[in-house]
């Protein structure tokens, strides 16, 4: 309750009667549930009030529509220019953080419309596309975020009347968004547009023949080598974590999941407490879609998880296995898993070809092949739907390649 953090009755009344007053009680409880400290909650209450006062009084006193992300950015500029009573730098930063948290709270409870990265409200067509992808394709949030950005640009460029789209317009848009970028970037654009068109066709909002308007991006299959390091270096990176601290215990568990099971960053971030079957020594992974798979839980991974859950995670309202190390204590996202891997690699001093979480997946697959596992077995562990996807790892097994390599013409004659 607000009165638990703001003791003065007169101040309480002023806050409740202010432009943020209708939401301050619930905002206070929301912060407390996420284990913010008392001083932080108090400062964020004041910050939310100041932000809404500034917002409603902007533009010479004109009352403006509901704030959005761009308004928070404008407020940050206002603070940086010495606004808000000439407060010190750390106080201005706290005011901005409090405003951001208040906006996140309002958006979560549905008091604000969902907006795009530039602060514009999401169009109804884009919202329906996101819902269709979640409902019928099982698309994960991080993938849907990337698709949504492409669709947002498409709607800005071609308009919001799909019945008028032509194949030429769609191809021109894909080319404009792909030229000068990497193959993976272009492939993301193409996939997003193709899925959006498929959604439009399924809802009978555009012509059926547009399904074939966008071809796949050309590229050489298996043209590159996977980036990996030796098992000894993997162990050095894992051992660099200080498991006596909550953050070190969390990082140690994450690295073991990446190294022993070859999980993706999104797999680790998406783990829930119910996904760990302690009695059967197995763990459930959802992967890139809603299809789940049970994988064996090695002893050292299970020990690390148990240590983290009992000493480092603490009591939080979420069921995510891994949570952030400071308030708000929310489940981590894939980007934070990659940051964990990068932090550990730099701390260990091991020289690696890359710094992300996928390095551990590549290294695990390469080690499994060298230990005698078949491509099919490795593909099963990595949850590949096609064995051709796993075939790239065969190129790094020199012993196997030497057994099948043909002699150079004339050699040994």
Residue numbers annotated as active site? 264, 288, 358, 361, 384, 393
Distance between CA atoms of residues 266 and 334, nearest Å: 5
- Paired residues of 121 in beta bridges: 115
Distance between CA atoms of residues 72 and 78, nearest Å: 10
Name the CA dihedral angle for 257, 258, 263, 266, rounded to a multiple of 10 degrees.
Answer: 100
List Cβ neighbours of 273 (8 Å cut-off, separation of 6 or more).
309, 319, 320, 321
Distances (CA, A) of 12 to 25, 235, 323, 361, 365: 10, 55, 33, 54, 60
Residue 340: closest CA among 228, 243, 265: 265
Q: Could you tell me if 169 and 175 are in contact, meaning their C-beta atoms sit under 8 angstroms apart?
A: no
Neighbours of 236 (CB within 10 A): 16
In three-state form (DSSP H/G/I as H, E/B as E, the rest C), the secondary structure along 187-219 is HHHHHHHHHHHHHHHHCCCCCHHHHHCCCCCCC
How many helices, marked H, and strands, marked E, lie in the chain?
20, 3
Distance between CA atoms of residues 267 and 286, nearest Å: 7
Start-to-end CA span in the chain (Å): 89
Cα 118 to chain centroid distance, Å, stands at 19
Distance between CA atoms of residues 336 and 35, nearest Å: 20
Distance between CA atoms of residues 264 and 304, nearest Å: 18
């Amino acid at each position: 309750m607000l009165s638990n953090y703001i003791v003065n009755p007169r101040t309480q009344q002023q806050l409740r009667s202010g432009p943020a007053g209708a939401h301050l009680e619930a905002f206070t409880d929301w912060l407390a549930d996420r284990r913010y400290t008392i001083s932080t909650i108090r400062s964020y209450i004041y910050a939310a009030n100041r932000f809404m006062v500034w917002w409603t009084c902007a533009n010479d006193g004109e009352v403006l529509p509901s704030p959005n992300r761009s308004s928070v950015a404008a407020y940050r500029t206002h603070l940086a220019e010495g606004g808000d009573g000439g407060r010190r730098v750390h106080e201005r930063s706290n005011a901005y953080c409090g405003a951001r948290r208040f906006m996140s709270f309002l958006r979560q409870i549905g008091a604000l419309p969902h907006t795009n990265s530039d602060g514009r409200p999401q169009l109804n067509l884009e919202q329906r596309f996101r819902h269709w992808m979640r409902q019928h394709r099982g698309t994960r949030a991080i993938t849907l975020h990337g698709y949504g950005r492409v669709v947002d640009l498409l709607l800005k460029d071609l308009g919001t009347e799909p019945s008028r789209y032509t194949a030429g317009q769609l191809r021109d848009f894909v080319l404009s968004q792909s030229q000068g970028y990497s193959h993976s970037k272009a492939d993301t654009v193409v996939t997003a547009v193709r899925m959006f068109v498929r959604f439009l066709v399924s809802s009978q909002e555009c012509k059926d023949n547009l399904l074939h308007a966008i071809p796949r991006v050309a590229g050489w299959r298996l043209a590159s080598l996977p980036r990996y390091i030796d098992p000894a270096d993997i162990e050095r990176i894992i051992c660099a974590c200080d498991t006596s601290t909550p953050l070190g215990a969390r990082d140690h568990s994450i690295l073991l999941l990446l190294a022993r099971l070859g999980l993706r960053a999104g797999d680790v971030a998406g783990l829930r407490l119910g996904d760990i079957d302690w009695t059967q020594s197995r763990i459930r992974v959802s992967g890139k879609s809603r299809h789940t798979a049970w994988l064996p839980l090695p002893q050292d991974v299970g020990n690390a998880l148990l240590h983290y859950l009992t000493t480092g995670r603490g009591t939080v309202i979420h069921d995510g296995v891994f949570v952030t190390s400071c308030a708000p204590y929310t489940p981590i996202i894939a980007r934070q898993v990659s940051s964990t891997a990068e932090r550990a690699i730099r701390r260990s001093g091991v020289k690696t070809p890359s710094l992300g979480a996928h390095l551990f997946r590549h290294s695990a697959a390469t080690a499994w092949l060298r230990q005698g596992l078949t491509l099919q077995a490795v593909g099963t562990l990595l949850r590949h739907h096609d064995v051709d996807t796993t075939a790239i790892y065969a190129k790094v097994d020199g012993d196997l390649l030497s057994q099948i390599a043909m002699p150079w013409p004339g050699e040994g004659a």
